[in-house]
Amino acid sequence: MNDLFHSNEPQGANVSISRHSTNQTLLIDADDTLWENNIYFERAIASFISYLDHRVHTPEEVRDHLNRVEHATVLSHGYGLHSFRRSLITCFEQLTDEPLTADKHSRIECFAQSIADQEIELLPRVALTLAELATRHRLIMVTKGDKIEQTDKLQRSGLSPHFNGVEVLHEKNHDAYQAVSAQYACESCNTWMIGNSPRSDINPALSAGLNAIFIPHDYTWVLEHEVVSQPPDGQHLLRLTTFADLTRHF
């Protein structure tokens, strides 16, 4: 587990396990909360770095450079595979003197395509847990990224029937959470954002006045790392080990 995740947030094992009342609104992240996602990017990046086989830079240095390129690409082009593809190409161009031939271009595109070709791999007991939670609460998927990619993954996951709403946002920040809350007429005290990312799921939801549930994933994308905030007075933050633990609280 990355040190950036460690803070003084309460541990799931130490909090009361009496369930919250019914009719809570549970806003639920998708990538690396409901299904595997970042591990495919990690594999693609490893393949890219080994293909690049840089004579001067170590694999770690190439990876650091790619992280910086990805950060810039996301700011200008948003999240999603199209941005990842663009980042790999840019990284290649910036780190090598070789011309980017059509052959090399298509080879690099294959690394990104390998992610799109993945079957959806649900995290343990996600389907059963959502089915149970949906009998007692309102579930809304709140994810970010490319709308077509995220909607397609939801359809292929088979989880769609459990959700009362689906929001694919450009960015998950304070304003976005306030907008979602207003759109669904959420009461802050009964609304919880659930996800694996401190930067996108937990901290901005707390800042927007919501409760939050942090379920860390060992392979969370480095650009999503952040120290978890303390909840303001009157708001709650839980940290759970697995998604299935939610049924002990809700």
Contacts with Mg ion, residue ranges (CB under 5 A): 29, 31-33, 196-197
- Cβ proximity to Mg ion: between 153 and 249 the closer is 153
Beta bridge partners of 122: 35
CB of 31 to Mg ion, least distance (A): 4
Measure Cα distances from 212 to 101, 112, 207 in Å.
48, 32, 10
For the bound state, the minimum distance from the C-beta of residue 33 to Mg ion, rounded and expressed in Å, comes to: 5
The CB-of-220 to Mg ion minimum distance in angstroms stands at: 7
Q: Which is nearer to Mg ion, 145 or 231 (CB)?
A: 145
Nearer to Mg ion, 31 or 70 (CB): 31
Cβ closer to Mg ion: 44 or 141?
141
Contacts of 133 by beta carbon, 8 Å cutoff, 6+ apart: 26, 139, 162, 246, 247, 250
Contact 87, 66 (CB under 8 A): yes
> Taking the complex as a whole, how short is the minimal distance between the CB of residue 79 and Mg ion, in angstroms?
11
At 137 the three-state DSSP class reads coil
Give the C-alpha separation, 194 to 237, whole Å. Answer: 10
Measured CA to CA, the distance from residue 176 to residue 174 in angstroms comes to: 6
Q: Are strands 165-169 and 138-144 parallel, antiparallel or unpaired?
A: parallel
**Cβ at position 34, least distance to Mg ion in Å:** 9
Structure tokens at 188: 């802050």
Asked whether the beta carbons of 177 and 14 are under 8 A apart, the reply is no
Q: Which is nearer to Mg ion, 74 or 95 (CB)?
A: 74
d(CA 38, CA 170): 18
Beta carbon of residue 143, minimum distance to Mg ion (angstroms, whole number)? 7
**Between 33 and 83, whose beta carbon lies closer to Mg ion?**
33
Structure tokens belonging to residue 174: 């304070």
